């Protein structure tokens, strides 16, 4: 997985932006429960009075406070007298009767220190209004206050401050409304930051994931283009398609969520725990531990059950693609042999296997969300139950319980997100492994470093030399070709003939280096093909494969496929030599006529002629025709060969053929049998001294025809 994620370096700036935004969102989300607590505790329960330190206090009350505290100077120095102006008297009517003091501008820490000094004396004053009994009752009141929790003491002090404000004439409703409004606006601002960050993160994550998918598909495609036929066969075409589509999609889906889990979830989880520990609600921390334990246990059980099925999923998709591809491409054969039912059964089996696996996985995963929601709702009820008792006992305030509930949900959700990613991860890791298998596969056929590459010998232009060449397929037990030794010269036609399975196509596939020889040397233009760049080698060869393959597009795009700069005149000339002009001109759109994928809308003979025209259009040094005339009638075959002779007078022509009539006028005929050369020479020479060739010839033509054509 990490090897795949290394491709994110192209989007490193976006990744950094996502991480920063995730930190911002996490910080905002962690602050929201604090605002809920403030609104409930301070805004509603305390009437907007945040500290148990009065902002305004009467002179009588301040003097009484001094009686119950030993910190006279600290308290007095924290206040300053309000000027008795008419404006201030209108604000504070009690100012007309006695001096009122206002709290100086203090820091949060200074207010908290002052709060510790004043909370208890404020409560005592309002408990002991009778000065005569104050001395006798003081000891009893002190002992009661010492038994109270900090929460109750703070609430009592706040009530004392409210009473003081009423006596001064301050509007308590306005204080409460102002506090709730300002705190609410702050909360909305933080929520807006969180929302904006979340939307931006999803946008950027989708962009990064899409770009990674594009990069992976490009790398897979480029890698596959370097594969020889051995690597293609190793993976299979269906599997390579699945790896570049479905497997990449799995990585994209994972990546979209991965940032939120890797960055966001730990911040929320750890941050929530720290916030809970920082408050006075640590007595309920066991609830969080219980919730986390239940979630992890649920995920582990599902993980153990579903993991093997996740690993099997991609292989089953491969199998379904393979069967579908075989059936669709082999449809004519299936219909010809009336095997539709058999193929339907084969497809149905692959389809049902995938369906059963998917159903099992989805059933397992469908249990996860209800289980998680049950755990979350149960935890909420538990917090309310335990927290309600704490509130009743004065250990906790309602707002603190609500904040604790929110923090717990955040912590639980962070573990829930990690559990979801743990479910996506197995399938994505399988996909990543399959992608890496392709990207890390080294092709058997590759170019040497540029500095070590040889240059073609211009004095041997078009010369193809086989020097004791041998070849065997990977993992094969025996040689397919053995001791192949001949030379194909410019201006001459070399034909290769032999029985089925004798190695004819394999031999010509060595020339453009579709396979590498395993013994001996193959030289083109006087240079070993292993010592030159594949691109340069193939640019010298016009190769027409045994099975003519056309690409979706038009006739024109197919003929001009080999070069971008082929003119219309050159295109038409190539079509004329390939005897394709007649059927092209008969089409309504002529050269702009559409060609379906694989050339399925043209006949086999037309497909071969267009393939030959494509090779002729690039005007190469060497022409290789791998049984490319088999679908042509004899008349078209002869006309095409006559036209070719004129076009290829200074070119090297190598023809693989099954029909003797196609090659009997060749300058050199190579006869193969079981991968070995058993005859070499002209048609007449081989009839005299090669029994294999003679048998092939007599199986196709009568003795009289051979003598007649041989004489010609």
Q: How far apart are CA 529 and CA 527, in angstroms?
A: 6
Q: How far apart are CA 632 and CA 72, in angstroms?
A: 116
According to DSSP H, which parts of 618-671 are helical?
634-647, 660-663
Please check whether the two domains, 454-540+622-636+649-712 and 548-619, share a CATH topology: yes
Q: What is the DSSP string of 557-598?
A: HHHTTT-TT--HHHHHHHHHHTT-HHHHHTSTTGGG-EE-GG
Q: What are the boundaries of each domain within the chain? A: 34-182, 206-439, 454-540+622-636+649-712, 548-619
Tens-digit pLDDT profile for residues 462-520? 888 999 989 888 777 778 888 889 888 888 889 998 888 888 888 888 888 888 888 88
> How sure is the predictor about 1, in pLDDT bands with cuts at 50, 70 and 90?
low
Query: Which fold is adopted by the domain 206-439?
Result: ABC transporter transmembrane region fold (1.20.1560)
Instruction: Of 105, 102, 122, 106, give the one whose Cα is nearest residue 168.
Output: 102
Contact in structure between 497 and 699 (CB atoms under 8 Å): no
SS3 628: coil
pLDDT at 384 over 90: no
**pLDDT computed for residue 149 by the predictor:** 54
| Long-range pairs for 132-136: beta carbons < 8 A, 24 or more residues apart | none
Query: Which fold is adopted by the domain 548-619?
Result: Rossmann fold (3.40.50)
pTM of the full predicted structure? 0.67
Which residue is it, tokens 């059933």?
363
φ, ψ of residue 699 in degrees (nearest 5): -75, -20
Which residue is it, tokens 């089996």?
349
Helices and strands counted in the chain (H then E): 29, 15
> How sure is the predictor about 192, in pLDDT bands with cuts at 50, 70 and 90?
very high
Instruction: Of 652, 661, 653, 654, give the one whose Cα is nearest residue 632.
Output: 661
**CA separation, residue 439 to residues 226, 319, 436 (Å):** 11, 21, 5
User: 454-540+622-636+649-712 belongs to which CATH class?
Assistant: alpha beta
Contact in structure between 612 and 628 (CB atoms under 8 Å): yes
Q: How far apart are CA 671 and CA 682, in angstroms?
A: 11
CA dihedral 169, 173, 175, 178 (to 10 degrees): -150
Stronger pLDDT, 292 or 27, i.e. the higher one: 27
**In whole angstroms, what separates CA 605 from the centre of its chain?**
44
Q: How far apart are CA 625 and CA 657, in angstroms?
A: 8
> How sure is the predictor about 707, in pLDDT bands with cuts at 50, 70 and 90?
low
Which residue is it, tokens 């292989």?
315
State the DSSP code for 621: S
Tens-digit pLDDT profile for residues 696-705? 888 876 666 5
């Amino acid at each position: 997985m990490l090897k795949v994620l290394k491709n994110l370096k192209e989007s490193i700036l976006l990744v950094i932006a996502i991480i920063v935004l995730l930190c911002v969102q996490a910080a905002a989300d962690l602050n929201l429960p604090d605002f809920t607590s403030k609104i409930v505790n301070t805004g509603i329960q305390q009437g907007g009075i945040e500290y148990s330190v009065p902002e305004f206090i009467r002179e009588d009350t301040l003097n009484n406070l001094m009686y119950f505290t030993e910190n006279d100077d600290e308290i007095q120095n924290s206040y300053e007298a309000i000027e008795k102006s008419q404006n201030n008297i209108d604000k504070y009517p009690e100012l007309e009767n006695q001096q009122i003091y206002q709290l100086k501008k203090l820091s949060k820490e200074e207010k908290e220190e002052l709060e510790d000094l004043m909370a208890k004396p404020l409560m005592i004053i309002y408990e002991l209004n009778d000065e005569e009994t104050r001395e006798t009752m003081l000891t009893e009141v002190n002992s009661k206050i010492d038994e109270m929790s900090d929460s109750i003491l703070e609430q009592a002090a706040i009530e004392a401050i409210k009473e003081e404000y009423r006596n001064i004439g301050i509007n308590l409703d306005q204080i409460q409304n102002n506090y709730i409004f300002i705190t609410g606006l702050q909360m909305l601002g933080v929520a807006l930051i969180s929302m904006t960050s979340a939307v931006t993160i999803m946008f950027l994550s989708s962009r990064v994931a899409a770009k990674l998918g594009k990069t992976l598909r490009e790398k897979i495609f480029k890698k596959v283009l370097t594969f020889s036929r051995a690597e293609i066969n190793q993976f299979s075409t269906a599997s390579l398609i699945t790896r570049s589509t479905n497997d990449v999609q799995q990585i994209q889906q994972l990546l979209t969520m991965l940032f939120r889990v890797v960055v966001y979830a730990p911040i929320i989880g750890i941050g929530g725990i720290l916030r809970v520990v920082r408050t006075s609600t640590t007595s309920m921390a066991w609830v969080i531990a219980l919730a986390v334990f239940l979630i992890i246990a649920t995920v582990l059980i599902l993980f153990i059950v579903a993991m093997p099925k996740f690993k099997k999923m991609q292989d089953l998709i491969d199998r379904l693609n393979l069967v579908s591809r075989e059936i669709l491409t082999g449809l004519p054969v299936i219909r010809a042999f009336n095997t539709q039912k058999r193929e339907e059964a084969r497809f149905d089996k692959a389809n049902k296997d995938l369906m059963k696996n998917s159903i099992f996985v989805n059933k397992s995963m469908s249990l996860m969300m209800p289980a998680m929601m049950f755990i979350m709702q149960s935890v909420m009820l538990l917090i309310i139950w335990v927290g309600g008792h704490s509130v009743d006992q004065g250990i906790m305030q309602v707002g603190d319980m609500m904040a604790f509930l929110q923090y717990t949900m955040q912590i639980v959700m962070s573990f829930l997100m990690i559990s979801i990613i743990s479910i996506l991860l197995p399938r994505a890791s399988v996909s990543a492994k399959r992608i890496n298998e392709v990207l890390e596969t080294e092709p058997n056929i590759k170019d040497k470093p540029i500095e070590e590459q040889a240059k073609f010998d211009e004095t041997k232009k078009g010369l193809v030399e086989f020097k004791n060449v041998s070849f065997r397929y990977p993992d094969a037990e025996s040689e397919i070709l053995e001791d192949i030794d001949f030379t194909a010269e410019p201006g001459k036609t070399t034909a290769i003939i032999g029985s089925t399975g004798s190695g004819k196509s394999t031999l010509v596939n060595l020339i453009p280096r579709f396979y590498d020889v395993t013994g001996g040397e193959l030289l083109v233009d006087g240079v070993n093909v292993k010592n030159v760049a594949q691109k340069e080698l193939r640019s010298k060869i016009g190769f027409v494969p045994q099975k003519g393959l056309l690409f979706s597009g038009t006739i024109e795009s197919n003929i001009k496929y080999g070069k971008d700069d082929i003119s219309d005149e050159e295109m038409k000339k190539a079509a004329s030599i390939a005897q394709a002009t007649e059927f092209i001109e008969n089409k309504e759109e002529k050269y702009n006529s559409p060609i379906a994928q694989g050339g399925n809308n043209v006949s086999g003979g037309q497909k071969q002629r267009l393939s030959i025209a494509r090779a002729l259009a690039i005007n190469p040094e060497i022409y290789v025709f791998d049984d490319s005339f088999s679908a042509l009638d004899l008349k078209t075959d002869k006309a095409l060969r006559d036209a070719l002779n004129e076009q290829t007078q200074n070119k090297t022509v190598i023809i693989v053929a099954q029909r003797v009539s196609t090659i009997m006028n060749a300058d050199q005929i190579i006869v193969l049998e079981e991968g070995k050369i058993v005859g070499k020479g002209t048609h007449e020479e081989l009839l005299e001294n090669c029994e294999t060739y003679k048998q092939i010839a007599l199986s196709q033509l009568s003795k009289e025809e051979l003598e007649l054509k041989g004489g010609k």
